Chains A and B, each alone.
Chain A
Amino acid sequence: MSEALLKVEDLRTYFATEEGVVRAVDGISFEMRRGERRGVVGESGSGKSVTAMSIMGLIEPPAGDIVTGRIVFDGQNLLELSEDEMQSIRGGRIAMIFQDPMTALNPVYTIGDQLMETIVLHQKVSKAEAREIAIQALRDVQIPNAEHRLNDYPHQFSGGMRQRVMIAMGLSCSPDLLIADEPTTALDVTTQAQIMDLMLHLAEDRGTAVMLITHDLGVVAGFCDTVQVMYAGGIVESGTIDDIYHNPQHPYTWGLLGSMTRLDDATQHRLHSISGAPPSLIKLPEGCRFRPRCQFATDICRQVLPVLRPVGNAGQMAACHRSEELDLKALSVDGEVGAAASEVTS
């Protein structure tokens, strides 16, 4: 296996608020290979977007701070770079696309201006050459009439088209890593299918590594090679998509899969809901963070924060004290948890 493209080690990103310190990302470590498509899944507040922003160097002190950790990209620790050096990596070698393309695009500049700005900034080309690259970039994302649409403003594009422009912008400098933060969450399902299909083809053709941040386990199943599941600022499980979907080792992953409605499920059985809600990131529970919602919790879960360690299949990792003794796969997801829905913690 070749050298990792991205290596995140014990990253901790905290935010100071009036109520206290929010531990948004609290000690996560993971690696990405070149060309890997990795899903980062979790519910709101699990730390997925803050992970992305930390990698992009978009955490602004004093509000937020990367307290410890290393983010090694292609051999360089990004946290030791100056703002100028970071500037040349951001948008060039690592690009990012956001959930809401309307707020990510500047409404008073044309699509062409905004595309060419990135290109001129990162590549030594003339304005005319930049224009050619921009037109090609729009063609690559299948925008018809690219040379004319270059002069249009963002509001003249539909939601799906704007997200195509964002992808064109993200890929215009041939990055090694593309971070896509909920790229299709704001879109309709047929448009989502178009966009995911486009991203898959472009990433495959160019060998671009993609970190796909999403709450939708369905989208990940069709796009990614690997997944990491996040909960309350930590990674609770990681592995290949096959491991995670067919052999989950962490009760949270298992519960998440069981609480999803599926298009191909003809039964109308009760969903396996996970009781309660995620903890406050200011006052995290002692021991395992999932413990208050976990139906399998025992004394050790109350006392010791479990670390991410190899369990299950080769390469699979989970942060659960009881992974070995629990046979989650064998526990049928329906029928198992009856009254979970009516339990409410406050």
Chain B
Amino acid sequence: MTDATSAYQQHIGEAAALPENVMLRVNHLVKEFPITRGVFFKKQVGAVQAVSDISFEIRKGETLGLVGESGCGKSTTARCVLRLLEPTGGDVYFRTGEDDHIVNIATADKDTLREIRREMQIVFQDPYASLNPMMTVASIVAEPLVVHDVGTKEERLERVKELLQVVGLSPEHANRYPHEFSGGQRQRIGVARALALNPSFMVLDEPVSALDVSIQAQVLNLMQDLQEELGLTYLFIAHDLSVVRHISDRVAVMYLGKIAELADRDALYEEPMHPYTHALLSAVPIPDPDIEAKRSRILLEGDIPSPANPPSGCRFHTRCPKAQEGVCDVDVPELRELEPDHWVACHFPEVKKVF
């Protein structure tokens, strides 16, 4: 692979031996989608590199926030981590709970995958599309148990009732159908389903984006309570930077398939160093008219380039206010540790408080 991530690579190590506190490590992950032409004789004419050689790790019990705008590759990354999508390259090491051994999800065979998937679950964005309208809540929540052949029918029903209570629904809801619930309640059902097999790791893919503000708060509080009670590790995908600050311990910012910046949440929000992070943070409105009146925004020029034809060098250079010709359009900036645990992929990083 390229040496673009080599510094970070050295930091987190090549071998599959994960430090004790690491739950999951992504190494040099690449995901390409083919671009084809023709209807009957499909010919590949190119590839969209949705995720372009990224590495990061998630520590036990933490929430890693993955943020970026549409098309930056955050959801693709999450799906590759669970191997719901087949990665084009790279490794995903995961510490399994029982015997504490490490599995490479990217290369695991079907049986191993099936076993590991008990321990890693996902909650989707759209609580309307992710629940089958023909199934009762009981059968939706019990489905993972059925698939993995856990318990008798009676035991499963007991577990369902217990799970519904854990997510703040009532056990009597078990026999109802999804359409009888509001958006927030549906998202609770999705969470109950994800918890059915006692996972240790959960991917939360924009879990509150489709919900109204007052309901968002309910679900965010629930996710935090569950993490505390059950010791869960989260990969939290979102485009809303205020939500991410609220829930994450560390945050990675993605732009066009690459990680631009990765840091502890306070460092990322209070002392961001990448010009894209600056622009992103300065664009988020704050619900306080006094603060808004004093703020100045960094307005980016133009739109995000197509990932099918990403810019050379630094992918952000076409819109970056600090880009320098001959450097940023030529060399790919590597992710470097500029402060302890604060990683930035920029040739001209600079600490800047933007709000």
A197 at interface by CB-CB < 8 Å: yes
Measured in the bound complex, the distance between the Cα atoms of B241 and A25 in whole Å is: 33
**Residue pair B285, A218 in contact (C-beta under 8 Å):** yes
Please tell me which stretch of B18-26, B75-83, B113-121, B287-295 contacts chain A, meaning at least 4 of its Cβ atoms lie within 8 angstroms of it: B287-295
Please tell me which stretch of A88-96, A113-121, A184-192 contacts chain B, meaning at least 4 of its Cβ atoms lie within 8 angstroms of it: A184-192
Which residues of B from 209 to 226 have beta carbons under 8 Å from A?
A: 212-218, 220-222, 224-225
Q: Which residue of A is nearest B180, CB measured? A: A346
Q: Which of A241, A258, A341 contacts B222 (CB 8 A)?
A: A341
**Residue pair A158, B303 in contact (C-beta under 8 Å):** yes
**Residue pair A277, B184 in contact (C-beta under 8 Å):** yes
Q: Which of B218, B220, B304 contacts A261 (CB 8 A)?
A: B220
A218-B220 contact in complex given A261-B245, A264-B291, C-beta closer than 8 Å = no
- CB-CB under 8 A from B299, the residues of chain A are 190, 193-194, 197
Q: Which of B69, B215, B269, B304 contacts A277 (CB 8 A)?
A: B215
- CB-CB under 8 A from B292, the residues of chain A are 218, 221-222
Quick one: which of A190, A261, A263, A268 has the most chain B CB within 10 A? Answer: A263
Measured in the bound complex, the distance between the Cα atoms of B280 and A264 in whole Å is: 14
Measured in the bound complex, the distance between the Cα atoms of B113 and A333 in whole Å is: 45
Q: Which residue of B is nearest A255, CB measured? A: B214
Measured in the bound complex, the distance between the Cα atoms of B194 and A154 in whole Å is: 40
Nearest CB of A to B102, in Å: 30
Q: Which residue of B is nearest A46, CB measured? A: B212
A256 at interface by CB-CB < 8 Å: yes
Measured in the bound complex, the distance between the Cα atoms of B283 and A264 in whole Å is: 13
A260-B242 contact in complex given A160-B303, A190-B300, A222-B292, C-beta closer than 8 Å = yes
**Residue pair B168, A341 in contact (C-beta under 8 Å):** yes
Measured in the bound complex, the distance between the Cα atoms of B217 and A219 in whole Å is: 19
How many chain-A residues does the 8 Å CB contact rule pick out? 52
- CB-CB under 8 A from B182, the residues of chain A are 277
**Residue pair B170, A271 in contact (C-beta under 8 Å):** no
**Residue pair A189, B287 in contact (C-beta under 8 Å):** no
**Residue pair A271, B283 in contact (C-beta under 8 Å):** no
Measured in the bound complex, the distance between the Cα atoms of B295 and A265 in whole Å is: 16
**Residue pair A194, B300 in contact (C-beta under 8 Å):** yes
A314 at interface by CB-CB < 8 Å: no
Q: Which residue of B is nearest A259, CB measured? A: B217
- CB-CB under 8 A from B247, the residues of chain A are 268
Measured in the bound complex, the distance between the Cα atoms of B205 and A31 in whole Å is: 42
Q: Which of B188, B224, B239, B269 contacts A270 (CB 8 A)?
A: B224
Given contacts A218-B242, A218-B292, A263-B284, 14 further A-B contacts (CB under 8 A): A189-B284, A190-B299, A193-B282, A193-B299, A217-B213, A221-B287, A257-B287, A261-B246, A266-B269, A271-B217, A273-B217, A277-B182, A342-B222, A343-B168
**A–B Cβ pairs within 8 angstroms, 16 of them:** A188-B239, A189-B240, A216-B285, A217-B287, A220-B287, A221-B288, A245-B289, A256-B214, A259-B214, A261-B240, A262-B288, A263-B242, A264-B286, A270-B224, A271-B221, A342-B222
Partner-A contacts on B (CB < 8 A): 69-70, 168-170, 173, 180-182, 184-185, 188, 212-218, 220-222, 224-225, 239-243, 245-247, 266, 269-270, 279-293, 295, 297, 299-300, 303-304, 355
